[in-house]
Amino acid sequence: MFVALITGLATGALYAAAALTYNVMFSTSKVLSVTTGHISMLGGIFGAWFISTLGWPIPVALVGAMGIGAVFGLLTDFIAIRRVLARSDEHLWLLSTLALATMVQQAAGLWWGTEPKPFPRLIPQDFSAGLGDQKYWLPIVIAILLAMALELFYRRTLYGKLFVAMSEDAFAARARGIPTGRIRSMSYVIAGAMGGLAGFAAGQLTFAYFALGLTLTLNGFIALAVGGLGSNAGALVGGAALGILSAVATYFVGGEYQQTISVGLLMVVLLVKPAGLFGSQSVRPV
């Protein structure tokens, strides 16, 4: 049972990292991009490729994986978000980001192959460490660090405050001279680097696998909805809750009900507390 908790927590940390990535992109664009999980997928397969095939040192490969994520984040904004938001108020970004995510997954499958491939050991450690193995705690540590870094960024930096301003009211921010287009692009670059880092850190847990993206997109969204849209603490708690609940459900009930229970959790939260555990419903005075 303790094993289920730890493995659930590690998987949940990856979902939490995806939820944090959603948050950063959502803050400036009000878009929930379907490409969120695919950023981490790219971080995983490029990280494995940089280290195992190109022989790059691990720190360089880490920067490379984050760079790939950042570039993909920027491309997401450029290809699937910018024009769609400029031309329509409808939620057409759902389709444009889904299309981009599908294209990226297909391309990754053609290039990388459709079978999972190994992700190298990042820290020298024997495989007999059990629950102390790095594949469990690396994603947990990275998710917590990402949440803390984001809080510092929002509270202590000028750009962070600009993100918050755009999140509150993008029109007012633009009226006050904030270059909202550039800030949005920056948020996608940061989100991309975060997703790449999360995928890299969890590579040993997930293997480098081209079809990982959609799973992370879905479960990251559930974690976000449970924790509360826009809340970094909520993303952590939502991810951990989802991971642990899935693991415990599998332990007691069986794997065939795992997905049902995950989506069931989402339904319950949406019905009981639609804003999520840490979310707040904004009321616009009229």
Partner 1 sequence: MQKLTLARVARLFVLSLAFAATAASAQSTIRIGWLSSLTGPLSSAAIAENQGVQFAVDEINAAGGVNGRKLELVTRDTSGEPTKAVNLAKQLAFVDKVDFIIGPVNSGESLATVPIVAKAGIPNLIIGTIDELVDAQKFPLAFRAINTNKQWIEAANDYALNVLKKKKIAVIGDTSGYGTAASKVAQDLLQKAGVTPVYVALVDPNKTDLTDELNKAKAAGAEVIMPWSAATGLLARLFNTRGDMGWDVPIVGHPAMMAPTVRPLLNKPDYWKNAFAAGYLSTTYDAKGKLPPRTQALMDKIRSKLGKGEIDFMFWWIALGYDTVKLVEHAVKTAGSTDAAAIGKVFENTKEFPGVYATYTWSKENRNGYPDHAIVVNIAGSFKDGSFQAAPR
Comparison of 1 and 158: residue with beta carbon closer to partner 1: 1
Cα–Cα distance, 161 to 214 (Å, whole number): 31
Cα–Cα distance, 210 to 212 (Å, whole number): 6
Q: Please state the closest distance from residue 216 (CB atom) to partner 1, in A.
A: 10
Residues 124-183 that bind partner 1 (CB under 8 A): 127-128, 130, 135
Q: What angle do CA 262, 277, 275 make, to 5 degrees?
A: 95
Cα–Cα distance, 216 to 41 (Å, whole number): 9
Give the tokens for residue 123: 């820290």
DSSP one-letter string for 191-209: HHHHHHHHHHHTHHHH-B-
Position among 206, 217, 231, 232 found at the interface with partner 1 (CB under 8 A): 206
Position among 54, 95, 110, 152 found at the interface with partner 1 (CB under 8 A): 110
208 forms beta bridges with 117
Cα–Cα distance, 182 to 54 (Å, whole number): 34
Give the tokens for residue 203: 């590579």
Give the tokens for residue 245: 């609940």
- Is 106 a binding residue for partner 1 by CB under 8 A? The answer is yes
- Is 115 a binding residue for partner 1 by CB under 8 A? The answer is yes
Q: Please state the closest distance from residue 221 (CB atom) to partner 1, in A.
A: 17
Comparison of 123 and 272: residue with beta carbon closer to partner 1: 123
- Is 53 a binding residue for partner 1 by CB under 8 A? The answer is no
Comparison of 5 and 92: residue with beta carbon closer to partner 1: 5
Instruction: Choose one: 88-96, 115-123, 162-170, 263-271; the region binding partner 1 (CB under 8 A).
Output: 115-123
**Are the CB atoms for 60 and 127 separated by under 8 Å?**
no
Q: Which residues bind partner 1 (CB under 8 A)?
A: 1, 3-4, 7, 10-11, 106, 109-110, 113-118, 127-128, 130, 135, 205-207, 209, 211-212, 215, 247, 250-251, 254-256, 258-259
